[in-house]
Structure 1
Amino acid sequence: MIDAISTRLATGIKNTVSDHPASHAVLKFAIAVILNVSFIILLTLVVSLFTGRTAEVGLILISFALLRQVSGGMHLKSGTACVLFTTLLFTLLSYVNVSNMYVEIMNVVSLTLVLWLAPIGIERQTRIPKRHWTKLKIIAAALIVSNIVLCSPVIAASFLAQSISLLISWRGVKSL
């Protein structure tokens, strides 16, 4: 679905502005990324209105996205699969309500995985030179450490899910 929409929109742009400097493939990719993120946010928020977990979903959307941007991780083969899986994951994570001890365990596991693996799988998605990737790792670690102060169960669960994505990517299951 996302692929078809992004193809049609990219074709429309190229037909309307034929001398646009971006190629059809570049436009299609950029549009697909925007649609993917937009659909994840919209669908997850709509579901949260029915579940009554909008505040928790908001925390998850922000925390997961921030950690994802600096740490990388696994990608699914299709945008539609990504939207459906992520919406389901975020909805389930919004129900995490555990004691502070489990929050800290999730934080420690996430921090360990990030310090070990991040950033991973970002080679084709960033213009940040490799020499700065250590800084990305430090930022990712700082995000997780911040939840030691906040002690939010849903943020800890969000960080853990993203950190597991790094492990899956490292193990070689880069596209599901």
Structure 2
Amino acid sequence: MINLMADKIAVEIKRTAPDHPASVAVLRYSIALLLNAVLIISITLLLSVFTGRTQEIMILLVSFAILRQVSGGIHLNSGMKCVISTAALFTLLSLIELSSSYVMIINGIAALLCLIFAPSRIEKQTRISVKYYPLLKLASVLIVCSNFLIMSPVLSLSFFAQSMLLIKLRR
């Protein structure tokens, strides 16, 4: 559905501005990314109105995205699967309460996962040279470890969920 909408918009843009240097494929890809993000944010915030956890959702949206930018992670094969699963995950995570002991444990696991697996699956998603991957790993670990100072249960869950998406087991 997202790809279909992106395709229609891209074709219309190209029809309106045929001399624009971007191809329909490039426009389609960019628009699909934008639609994906807008739908995730919109649906998740809408759900937060019903759960009363808007502040937690906002923290989840921002923190997950920041860690994801430097650590990478698995990508689903459909934009709608991504939207639905992300909105459901964030809504579920926003409802979980953790004690400070669990925050420490989950932070530790997330930091360890980032240390082992980050960056993950970013080769085709970024122009960042491989020589900078150790810096991305360090940034990922530091982002997660910042929560040892903040001690936010929501950040802990966000970082843990994102770090789980880094795991890539070899067959």
Q: Which residue is equivalent to 1:129?
A: 129
1:20, 1:129 → 2: CA distance?
A: 29
1:111–1:141 Cα contact (<8 Å) kept: yes
Alignment of 1:1-176 (within 5 A): 1-167=1-167, 170-171=168-169
Gap runs ≥5 in structure 2: none
TM-score by length of 1: 0.94
Give the superposed CA RMSD: 1.2
Provide the aligned length of Structure 1 versus Structure 2: 171
Structure 2: distance between partners of 1:114 and 1:15: 44
> Runs of 4+ in structure 1 displaced over 6 angstroms?
none
Q: TM-score, normalised by structure 2?
A: 0.97
Deviation at 1:95, TM superposition (A): 1.1
Where does the alignment leave 5 or more consecutive residues of structure 1 unmatched? none
Q: Residues 95 and 154 of structure 1 are in contact (CA less than 8 Å); yes or no, is this contact kept in structure 2?
A: no
Q: Residue type of the partner of 1:32?
A: A
Can you list the C-alpha shifts for 1:100-157, whole angstroms capped at 9, x where unaligned? 1110111010000101110011111111111111111111111101100111111111
Amino-acid identity (%): 47
